[in-house]
Amino acid sequence: MINQFLFLLYIAILGVSFMFFFKNSLSSANLYLLSVPTGLSIWVFQLIILFILGLPFEKLFIGILSLLLLSVFIAIHRNKFFVKKNLVQIIIYLALYSGFSFLFLIFNYSFFTNDSWRMLIGGKYIATYGSLLDSLIDQRGLYAYIIHSSSNIFGFDYLYALYPLMMLFFALFFAYNLYSPLSPENKEVGRNILFSSLVVLFILSTFFVLLNAFYVHSNLLSGIYGFLALFGLWKHLVSKDRNWLIISAIAILSFSFLRIEGPLLSLIIIIILISIKQIKFKEKVYYVGAVSLFVVVWHIRLFFMLAGHTSKYYMNPARTLLITVLYTLIFTVLLVSQKGILNRIKEYFPLLMVYSLSIGWTILIFTEGPKTKGNLLVLKKYGRLILNSVKHGDWGITWIVLGILFAVALILKKLRHESLFLYYIFSFALLFNSIHLYRGGWRIGWGDSGNRMLMSIIFVISFYVFLKFRNVLFPNSLEK
């Protein structure tokens, strides 16, 4: 337990030391609340780099590298770190963080399914042998295995306290960013806080969301990083703070590596980013370039790993090549879209994306997807998606409420840069439908992967919906 606590503490300190790059622009609350997801991502990506490049994946080497990384960040920020005010904040934050960590370490309600075992096995295998287990190469994103390699590297059973910790900090982050600063004359602070707290409570009262806080899987992390990727982009446009773009880039990288379909879903955000005129070309190049580089290099490596491999579960050499080509293409389009016809039509890229996805979905509907195991009844399974979101998927009343509120929110007063949310939500819905039609549809029950994938979008839809209602209910809000 102590080893796991020390690992979690390391992640928090790494996160804080990294987030201090943004100390001058981000609020203290956002800085500390984002330290866990960013710290985790930075640690994971240093290991992903080791893994992709085939460098020694050994405990001692990783331990030294981890400490070195932390030392470098602290050294860079030593002037800010050891200022009295910042030091007090850090100590308070770490004290609270440690308290919650111990709580979740002692009260272990972690929950397993067969997928969880595969992640643990994959993680332990990587940590033991420095490679991926043959039977697991094509099943899920590398991120999930790397997280669980921490158990063997740092010497504990399995990483279970991370999930409730991530949920807690994310819930606070969500509530904080839904809270709106009011004009100085307005004294409705209490009501404002009550509103955002109840919204978070509503989301957490959803059984399936709460379950994912203890479920050893990638659903929760997908939801969090997917949200942060889009939120970072939106916040950058609203606040004109470039640092949010960096946070979005880290989040989208994590999102791409968490699930097999992650790179496809991340493309939605990338295409939206390319279309935005307010973001400088150089910033787009760094953002898209960094994401594309990681994704392409990993998928090329995966291509060679899968080449001699017999089990073709989700990924196969053709699909890795497809992802590689897509990301190379999107980066090329970005580079040439500075001039000419592409420059004139790039603001319509998201609309074209929605069109392509709609047409793709239509084709799949009329061909009933590929006939999976002779199953000609793929379209009939759509009813299961509805039934899962309403009853069997353990979502309670949440999707019904969000559906109604979403329809109402569409006609409420416009948000700044609202189109970001709408393009993402509709594109996600179309891609999600297409993926499942392609795979053969849904099955009843919470464990259905389509049902679990809804975790990737719930935070985005909730934030969008309640943000719009917030602006109606708090007309004196300084942020609209």
Quote the least distance from Cβ 433 to other proteins, whole Å. 9
Residue 305 binds other proteins, judged by CB under 8 A: no
Q: Are 79 and 22 in contact (CB under 8 A)?
A: no
Phi and psi at residue 58, to the nearest 5°: -120, 150
Interatomic CA distance for residues 465 and 443, integer angstroms: 28
Quote the least distance from Cβ 22 to other proteins, whole Å. 33
Phi and psi at residue 111, to the nearest 5°: -130, 135
Query: Binders of other proteins among 103-132, rule CB under 8 A?
Result: 107-114, 117-118, 120-121, 124-125, 128-129
Residue 55 binds other proteins, judged by CB under 8 A: no
Quote the least distance from Cβ 472 to other proteins, whole Å. 7
Sign of the torsion formed by the C-alpha atoms of 352, 355, 359 and 365? positive
Query: Binders of other proteins among 411-430, rule CB under 8 A?
Result: 430
Quote the least distance from Cβ 420 to other proteins, whole Å. 15
Nearer to other proteins, 259 or 381 (CB): 381
Nearer to other proteins, 98 or 135 (CB): 135
Interatomic CA distance for residues 46 and 42, integer angstroms: 6
- Residue the block writes with tokens 């080509």: 325
Residue 198 binds other proteins, judged by CB under 8 A: yes
Among 19-27, 29-37, 171-179, 198-206, the segment contacting other proteins (CB under 8 A): 198-206
Among 21-29, 40-48, 197-205, 323-331, the segment contacting other proteins (CB under 8 A): 197-205
Interatomic CA distance for residues 479 and 179, integer angstroms: 10
Residue 345 binds other proteins, judged by CB under 8 A: no
CA neighbours within 13 Å on the CB side: how many for 331?
18
Contacts of 371 (CB under 8 A, 6+ apart): 378
Among 36-44, 75-83, 220-228, 369-377, the segment contacting other proteins (CB under 8 A): 369-377
Reduce the DSSP state of residue 123 to 3 states and report it.
helix
Contacts of 293 (CB under 8 A, 6+ apart): none
Phi and psi at residue 345, to the nearest 5°: -100, 0
Query: Binders of other proteins among 202-231, rule CB under 8 A?
Result: 202, 205-207, 211, 214-215
Residue 155 binds other proteins, judged by CB under 8 A: no
In the 8-state DSSP scheme, what is residue 413?
P
Among 35-43, 91-99, 296-304, 398-406, the segment contacting other proteins (CB under 8 A): 398-406
Residue 365 binds other proteins, judged by CB under 8 A: yes
Query: Binders of other proteins among 434-453, rule CB under 8 A?
Result: 443-445, 447
Q: Judged by CB under 8 A, how many residues of this single chain contact other proteins? A: 74
**Which residue, 327, 180, 309, is CA-closest to 267?**
327
Nearer to other proteins, 188 or 241 (CB): 188
